[in-house]
């Protein structure tokens, strides 16, 4: 008897459809925090600054996700991405 296992692809969403901030003031502070850090580290190519992006911290567990308002990652190129999972950029 042969058993065939069906492998369902794991989906890592890049949005949850929820608003990014609770108020205009919160949104403004979030964007200001990202802008200030990006400006401060503008000449350093291996520092990535962003905010409100999903970061998947466990492989094969799409529910293991956080979306910090503002974050900085050292050792990562500062190019735009849509999500990050287990240390690798996901476009």
Q: What is the pLDDT of residue 3?
A: 60
Kindly give the pairing relationship between strand 83-85 and strand 55-56. parallel
Q: When comparing pLDDT for 74 and 8, which is higher?
A: 74
CB 27 within 8 Å of CB 20: yes
Query: Any idea which of 14-18, 25-29, 38-42 has the lowest mean pLDDT?
Result: 14-18
How is residue 60 annotated by DSSP?
T
Phi, psi of 86 (to 5 degrees): 30, 55
Q: When comparing pLDDT for 53 and 35, which is higher?
A: 35
Q: What does the pLDDT look like over 40-72, one tens digit per residue? A: 999 998 898 998 888 888 888 888 888 898 999
Residue with structure tokens 């003031």?
25
Closest CA to 66 of 50, 75, 78, 53: 53
Beta strands in the chain (DSSP E): 47-50, 55-56, 65-66, 71-74, 83-85, 88-90
* Token pair belonging to 34: 């990202």
CB 45 within 8 Å of CB 73: no
pTM of the model: 0.69
Most confident by average pLDDT, 1-15, 36-50, 64-78: 36-50
């Amino acid at each position: 008897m042969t058993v065939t296992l069906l492998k369902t692809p794991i989906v890592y969403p890049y949005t949850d459809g929820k608003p990014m901030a609770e108020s205009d003031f919160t949104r403004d502070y979030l964007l200001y925090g990202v802008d200030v850090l990006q400006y401060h580290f503008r000449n350093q190519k291996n520092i990535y600054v962003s905010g409100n992006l999903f970061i998947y911290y466990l492989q094969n567990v799409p529910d293991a996700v956080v979306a910090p308002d503002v974050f900085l990652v050292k050792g990562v190129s500062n190019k735009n991405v849509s999500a990050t999972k287990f240390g690798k950029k996901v476009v």
